[in-house]
Chains A and B, each alone.
Chain A
Amino acid sequence: MNDNDIVLKVEEIYKSFGDTEVLRGVSFDVRRGETKVFIGPSGTGKSTLLRCINQLTIPDRGRVWLDGEEVTNSGARINYFRQKIGMVFQNFFLFDHLTALKNVELALLKVKGMGKAEAREKALTELRQVGMEDWADHYPAELSGGQAQRVSIARALAMDPDVILFDEPTSALDPELTREVLEVMKKLARNGMTMLVVTHEMGFACSVANEVLFMENGVVAEQGPPDLLLNDPRFTRMKDFIGRIDSRMDD
């Protein structure tokens, strides 16, 4: 593996909230075009880890590198890195007062300083990518959860990020809507987008992930290609966990 392929480097991230150590030394490298899936019990620090990567949460220790430049301790330049590290949230967080189109345009105008016509063009292109072009003039409150999540993916894509962080993008959606969002994410992965995805969708993990990282108690407990983690007898913890969530769903 060529070191130049590594687009994101996460080194020894530690984070505590008060007395609780949430992250206790998490490290991994992400190659360009790769999809990594993070799974693990809730409260294990998966969201905190993603937020540490784009510094929405400042880690206590450890470093993050994007394309060889340090993201941690980057001062005001963090706003540059955040354009390059897109983020998609469980509850979409679309801007409630703006149409789908304006949601995607806003950062193009304000952050990238694009002209109006160019921003509109770009925003429409991204909405087309996620199949939401026909809904450009609708407001978030008029969209289904699946549609809203697709718009929020378009919003992240519009900044031409090097990597997108997905924090449980389908956890607020019912199965039907989950599928339409996962389809969009699969398409992105196929087109070579680099993605870090926190999810419990094992079907998605198995079909798309290059690597699955199982997190427990603030560390990566097991990691490897999905079929290895699921089939190799040496790995047990993730299988136990998946067995637990499956049986809970059967209840």
Chain B
Amino acid sequence: MDQAVFLFEILLPALMQGLVVTLQLIACSAPFGLAFGIAVAVGRQYGHPVISWLCKTFVFLIKGTPLLLLLFILYFGLPSIGITLTAFAASVLGFILCNSAYNAEYIRGALISIKDGQMVAARSLGMTRWQAIKSVILPQALRRAIPGLSNEFIYLIKYSSLAYMLTVIELAGAGKQVATKYFLYTESFAAVGVVYLVLVSITTVAVSILEKRVAVPGTVRATPSAQL
């Protein structure tokens, strides 16, 4: 078979279909992973001791469980207690749990780094604790968490390929199918790798644009330390 025919008529169309599924997985997981991550970090740092303990335990359990095992539990294990999820839903749920636990750690680190004075000043003006967290602490902490959060987002792009283990034909799975059908492993997997690389590159550029846009004028963080 002609190389060009294989590439443009077989491999790329299959990969594009897989890519759409990968993007769907990411789009369904990342926003909730971020929102839940913020909630867990704030709960752990500022919540009632019981809430704080629950958040800490959640992060500990997720950190301690291989993601693949978590996905197997959600997809193959939950039906035994009467909860049946589609492969796609189980994957998204697993990714949200995993993504949020790690995001929570990055955000918690950023929360700790915000000086006490910010909270003290907010409370001295009559703000409730929650108002202070929402309007003063989180906006600053999230800016500081961007490098960590973007790292975690890049992991998500890559570990979304584990959905293939639950029969979701996403990007890596699409590549695998073509590879086994035509016995062209190197070509297929190299092409898959290139697509992931493109996704990661786009993310990296987008994050650096975001970082510049939300940078607070006058802070050292906004300028490269090489200038110091």
User: Which of A's residues lie within 8 Å of B, judged by CB?
Assistant: 54, 56, 79-83, 86-87, 89, 91, 93-97, 106-107, 110-111, 138-142, 152, 155-156, 159
Contacts and interface: CB of A to CB of B under 8 A. Distances in A.
B119 to A, nearest CB: 9
Contacts, number: 75
Interface string B61-96: 000000000000000000000000000000000000
A82 B125 contact: yes
A100 to B, nearest CB: 11
A91 B117 contact: yes
A39 B210 CA distance: 48
Nearest to A80: B126
A93 B125 CA distance: 12
Given A56-B120, A139-B216, A141-B219, A95 B127 contact: no
Interface in B87-115: none
B127 A111 contact: yes
Given A95-B136, A139-B216, A142-B218, A110 B120 contact: no
Interface residues of B, number: 22
B128 interface: yes
Given A79-B127, A82-B125, A111-B126, A139 B218 contact: yes
Given A82-B126, A142-B218, A95 B121 contact: yes
A56 B127 CA distance: 12
Nearest to B123: A56
Contact of A159 (B122, B125, B128): B125
B126 A107 contact: yes
5 contacts: A56-B120, A86-B124, A93-B117, A95-B121, A111-B127
Contact of A54 (B124, B131, B136): B124
A107 B136 CA distance: 11
Contacts of B128: 79
Interface string B116-152: 0110111111111001000110011001000000000
A111 B123 contact: no
B127 A107 contact: yes
A96 B216 contact: yes
B143 A97 contact: yes
A96 B118 contact: yes
A183 B121 CA distance: 23
B3 to A, nearest CB: 54
A89 B127 contact: no
Nearest to B218: A141
B111 to A, nearest CB: 14
B217 interface: yes
A95 B126 contact: no
Contacts of A107: 122, 125-127
A149 B184 CA distance: 69
Contacts of B124: 54, 56, 82, 86-87, 156
A80 B140 CA distance: 26
A118 B139 CA distance: 24
Q: 5 closest A-B pairs (Cβ-Cβ)?
A: A141-B218, A93-B121, A142-B218, A93-B117, A107-B125
A94 B124 CA distance: 12
A83 B125 CA distance: 5
Interface string B192-228: 0000000000000000000000001111100000000
B123 A96 contact: no
Contact of B118 (A54, A93, A155): A93
A56 B120 CA distance: 7
Given A56-B120, A91-B117, A111-B131, A96 B219 contact: yes
A155 B124 CA distance: 11
Most chain B beta-carbon contacts within 10 A, residue among A97, A107, A141, A152: A97
Contacts of B140: 95-97
